[in-house]
Structure 1
Amino acid sequence: MTRPTTAFKVLTAQQWAAFERERVFRGAPVDVEDGYIHLSTAAQLDATIARYFADQSELMIAEVDLIRFGDAVRWEPARGGQLFPHLYAELPIEAVISLQRRG
């Protein structure tokens, strides 16, 4: 099975503002706690938003180029055994190839 070359990071408006200012994202509290940045594929994105961000009114969805990270991206089982892309590195803003606002 071919893995996607991009994935998505869901950020609150506040997290996105800090990301833009600092030019690097080191992770949301759950990312820091788990030791990697949680990402979702396009197919997983809506379920991730519904499960973890339902109470958020304004979200920024950053599409991330996974190719540039090589082995720092690991596909690991999570929700329901699905393989999710986990980034074991900081996320530089240059790796964001598109951005959409939701909410």
Structure 2
Amino acid sequence: MQIFKVFRAAEWAQMQQDGRTLGAPVDLADGYIHFSTAQQLSVTLSKHFANEDGLILLSCDPDALAPDLRWEPSRGGALFPHLYRALTLADVQWSRPIGLTDAGHDTGIAP
């Protein structure tokens, strides 16, 4: 299983420069880094990143983030992965741009 983090290009560039991040502004405000599962990703994109281009998708192994990863209720009571520590480049399995088409974001990830 993989979990996913969406960053804007500038946020990803800053993480690459620093080697770690405490997340995007919403993560800093909430006190943890928001992730989504493959099933949650499309709604996360449409709700929080509608029509935004230049997004980057990061993939992480939830087991490698333990014990700092907690599964907590969020949208509609679904459990979402939240990371309660900095995310490091070593935590990222892979990253790639998220395409934006007329139909919405294309992550290449099947729910």
* TM-score, normalised by the number of residues in structure 1: 0.91
**Which residue of the partner structure matches residue 8 of structure 2?**
12
Q: In 2, distance between residues paired with 1:96 and 1:69? A: 10
Which shows bigger deviation, 16-25 or 63-72?
A: 63-72
Deviation at 1:19, TM superposition (A): 0.8
**Which residue of the partner structure matches residue 32 of structure 1?**
28
Deviation at 1:40, TM superposition (A): 0.2
Structure 1 counterpart of 2:89, which letter?
I
CA RMSD of aligned residues (A): 1.0
Higher helix share: 1
User: How many residues are aligned here?
Assistant: 99
Identity in percent = 42
Structure 2 unaligned regions, length at least 5:
100-111
**Which residue of the partner structure matches residue 60 of structure 1?**
56
Q: In 2, distance between residues paired with 1:25 and 1:14? A: 12
List aligned pairs for 1:1-103, cutoff 5 A. 4=1, 6-103=2-99
Q: In 2, distance between residues paired with 1:70 and 1:52? A: 26
Deviation at 1:64, TM superposition (A): 1.1
Structure 1 counterpart of 2:21, which letter?
F
Q: In 2, distance between residues paired with 1:98 and 1:70? A: 18
